[in-house]
Structure 1
Amino acid sequence: METVKNIAEKLKVTFQPSDWTLALTTDQRVGVQKLVSSWQKRIDQEKYIQAQHTEKIQFDTSFKHQPEDLVAGIDEAGRGPLAGPVVTAAVIFSDYSKELVGLNDSKQLSRIKRQKFSEIIKKHAAAYYIHIQSVEKIDTLNIYEATKDSMALSVSNLSIQPDILLVDAMTLPTTIRQHSIIKGDAKSLAIAAASILAKTARDDIMDEFDKIYPEYNFAKNAGYGTAEHLTALKQFGATGIHRKTFEPVKSMIR
């Protein structure tokens, strides 16, 4: 009879049901049953993640008129904060590496996983571009128009031009065929990839601003109007990266 330790080691490298795993379900040892239950949950989770990945690819592919059409996903990070830029990204995939499995809406991933996927996306994308829209531009145009402008620049600066744009909840001023997708980062692999690139880039920027303005803890709140951030605003006033057209900053600088 196999030891529980040996079974545990074998299950770590077992990815498909077999006669052996079926036999384990009849093993009366409590330790073995816990291992089998844990292994089955892992397998089911991996199948679910793979199914989601396939659905996202099929969603993107469904917009192609020709198999060789290139689809770009476009998304943003930072429309809501009181401070810092809005960052947008555009991503094109011409094929799909297994390393992309598990790529999801940036809001659904931890910062560590976003950083990991950011590197994977840059490695496997046929093209990508990240655009940083300044606070000054946001205050001049308004946040909606500034985001739209930034997204358009993300697309126009791609090293290869796409045939179709999938844009997260936005319509861009372009002649390229496009589709505005509500909650696109949960449906499209390309949009999800763009959301990760935009979010990781913006987080890195806010980390740098945190060193310049440590009182506001931008590394933690990313410029959003948390209670801690609002308290710092009242105590120290607005900085050069605060959006002057956003309340309560607008009222504070009158």
Structure 2
Amino acid sequence: MIAGVDEAGRGPVVGPLVIAVVAGDGEALRRLGVRDSKKLTPGAREVLYREVLRVSECVNYVVVEPYEVDRYASRGLLNALELDYTARLIELCPADVYYVDSPDVDADRYGSGLSFLTGRRVVALHKGEKVPQVAAASIVAKVVRDRLLEVVKREVGDFGSGYPSDRKTVEWLRAGLVPRECVRWSWGTVGKLFK
């Protein structure tokens, strides 16, 4: 059994980080057309999300709220955050090997860290979405994150993508319209806005 792990929302200034794991038959996932979630439209991701749930042996995810991201990021430990939460996910989905899209520039170091923490065989890769299970995990993480952001937007209005490069997001942050608990206060974007 092969499992894949990927995340969505590492870089935004608004919203959670979502990390997902998918274990299952790579050929079945490949036939669905899974690939990096960034290369799919929101509608295509939703369709594939349902199909991934249907054909996979195990699917799970963790939502890391902005305050928790801040707790790690303010100390320069964003990779450690992903190590911690990814190790927890690996425990939830049994597999023989886990392929992980590495956030660390040194993929081998990241994979070794996960292997040490979990006692499992982990292979960390850059551009890990070439492994169908990682691509499926990418889709799951992105759909879950997008759905969570939509809940907030229904309550407060459309604040944009949540990324620091999005003018609309920055305008909403400057005006104080994004709920405080949804903001990553340790991000430089926020510091520049409120100097």
Normalised TM-score (structure 1): 0.65
Establish whether residue 129 from structure 1 lines up as the match of residue 64 from structure 2. Answer: no
- CA deviation digits over 1:50-84, x for unaligned, max 9? xxxxxxxxxxxxxxxxxxxx111000000000011
Q: Which amino acid aligns with 2:72?
A: L
> SS at the partner of 1:236?
coil
Aligned partners of 1:232 and 1:98: how far apart in 2? Answer: 39
CA contact (8 A) 2:128 2:134 kept: yes
- The answer to whether the aligner puts 1:84 opposite 2:15 as a matched pair is yes
Give the letter aligned to residue 199 of structure 1: K
Post-superposition Cα deviations, 1:85-135, rounded to whole Å, max 9, x if no partner, equal: 100100111464388432111111111110000000000001111111111
The answer to whether structure 1 residue 194 and structure 2 residue 133 are counterparts is no
Q: Deviations over 1:163-210 (max 9, x none)?
A: 11100014223211111111111x110000000000000000000111
RMSD after superposition: 2.0
Counterpart of 1:184, as a letter, is: G
Query: Could you tell me whether the CA contact under 8 Å between 2:90 and 2:118 is conserved in 1?
Result: no
Q: What's the % identity of the aligned pairs?
A: 26
Residue identity opposite 1:224 in structure 2: Y
Alignment counterpart, residue 85 of structure 2, candidates 150, 164, 168: 150
Structure 2 residue 49 is matched with structure 1 residue 118: yes
Q: Is the 8 A contact 2:60 2:89 kept in 1?
A: yes
Residue 169 (structure 2) pairs with residue 236 (structure 1): no
Aligned 1:95-106 pairs, distance under 5 A: 96-97=27-28, 100-106=31-37
Do structure 1's residue 180 and structure 2's residue 113 form an aligned pair? no
Q: Which has the larger radius of gyration?
A: 1
2:106 aligned partner: none
> How far off its partner does 1:242 sit?
0.3
Are the counterparts in 2 of residues 74 and 190 from structure 1 also a CA contact under 8 Å? yes
Q: Is the deviation greater in 166-175 or in 122-131? A: 166-175
Task: Give unpaired runs (5+ residues) of structure 1.
Answer: 1-69
Is the Cα–Cα contact under 8 Å of residues 87 and 150 in structure 1 kept in the other structure?
Answer: no
Moved more, 95-104 or 133-142: 95-104
Q: Runs of at least 4 residues of structure 1 off by over 3 A?
A: 94-101, 250-254
Residue 224 of structure 1, CA deviation: 1.0
**Cross-structure match for 2:150:** 207
Other structure's SS at 2:45 match: helix
In structure 2, relative to structure 1, the CA distance for the partners of 1:99 and 1:174 (3 Å cut) is closer
